[in-house]
Structure 1
């Protein structure tokens, strides 16, 4: 019979194992447009705003045609503000609209619009990836961690990436706060899925209680 920690991880992944990229409708691949689309919700999620609003806003920006750095940078600022508002991202809309345009311009100028070039420059070093991501306007440490947490699905050198927020979820579920041990408990579950599920437990007490109930004593 599986031990308590393994049962908790199985229950967590079964009930809440979906990435934020999936919620945003992103079919993540190691190609320029999906990687850029992932950078946008990482930016949005780094503000003090509910994850559901950030995900809805990422969808709204995509539906407005702002789905690559060229279009984002070339859009009228008000167009970006309007899309943010449709997603419910109103508290920070003016500042974020500017940052999104500036970040898209930076990606185009610095990396030719292709985040794979950033990856190549970092040479597989996660601390350097984190540093380079924070060069984007509006992307601080939290945003960089969010991007790395999700991109480990297609950039395996970043795995297992359980950032501070994911480890808060592990603590709430009384799981090991060690990325390698938690990943081992998850077996064949993708680290990105485990990380996202742990974050959901960190930010929503009801998720943690549901998982503990499912796992049993």
Structure 2
């Protein structure tokens, strides 16, 4: 890693290096509950709504007891709508409440509530995992990318998962725009997930790009 890349990386992670899972209060591990919570979060982040609202809505769902497939399945549709509303996820609350209920049915019925079984069915293949994730209501290519970017912290099989949005953010900071060289800047799966989340954030904001560049130059 060059001195310049190192300074940019340090400034980037210092300012924006929190995963979306961490913001939503998920203690991510290779266990059924946090993996399911990440799937719910990816579903919420897939809508045309701010990340802050999606994270807040996820927190409300978990606090209400809907952070497991069983809890989500046993909640009434109105219960889910109300929790989403408390997180201000209102434009999509009714449709999303239905999708989350249907998704809970799918994971319970097909994978016994455990996304590790989905990963094993896919034999750890990243593309096949993405295809299976997209069978969940509300998860398209964007949602699958969100899930994979975050889960690479605990699923080394899918790392590095650095999609176009991540690489676009890297390009704006002068970091490598190719997946392998960019991944080599991270020292662990956890740091790679943090790097991915940070680059997604700066890809959306010229102000954030400028802030990172200024901090890196000053450091």
Alpha-carbon displacement from aligned partner over 1:21-65 (angstroms, at most 9, x marks no partner): 000000011111110001011011111111111111100001111
Q: Could you say which residue in structure 1 is the equivalent of 2:72?
A: 72
The whole-number CA distance in structure 2 between the counterparts of 1:30 and 1:6 is 30
Unmatched tracts of structure 2, length 5 or more: none
TM-superposed deviation, 1:3: 2.9
Alpha-carbon displacement from aligned partner over 1:61-95 (angstroms, at most 9, x marks no partner): 01111111111122111110110011111111111
Contact kept, 8 Å, 1:6 with 1:186, in 2: the verdict is no
The whole-number CA distance in structure 1 between the counterparts of 2:124 and 2:180 is 18
The whole-number CA distance in structure 1 between the counterparts of 2:205 and 2:38 is 22
Q: Could you say which residue in structure 2 is the equivalent of 1:197?
A: 198
Q: Could you say which residue in structure 2 is the equivalent of 1:136?
A: 136
Q: Could you say which residue in structure 1 is the equivalent of 2:99?
A: 99
SS in structure 2 at match of 1:216: helix
TM-superposed deviation, 1:192: 0.6
Unmatched tracts of structure 1, length 5 or more: none
TM-superposed deviation, 1:2: 4.3
SS in structure 1 at match of 2:94: helix
Q: Aligned pair 1:211/2:212, yes or no?
A: yes
Contact kept, 8 Å, 1:57 with 1:84, in 2: the verdict is yes
Q: Aligned pair 1:27/2:27, yes or no?
A: yes
TM-score computed with the length of structure 1 as normaliser: 0.95
Q: Could you say which residue in structure 2 is the equivalent of 1:157?
A: 157
TM-superposed deviation, 1:166: 1.1
TM-superposed deviation, 1:9: 1.5
Q: Which runs of 4+ in 1 moved over 6 A?
A: none
Q: Aligned pair 1:110/2:110, yes or no?
A: yes
**Aligned alpha-carbon RMSD (Å):** 1.5
Matches within 5 A, 1:143-182: 143-182=143-182
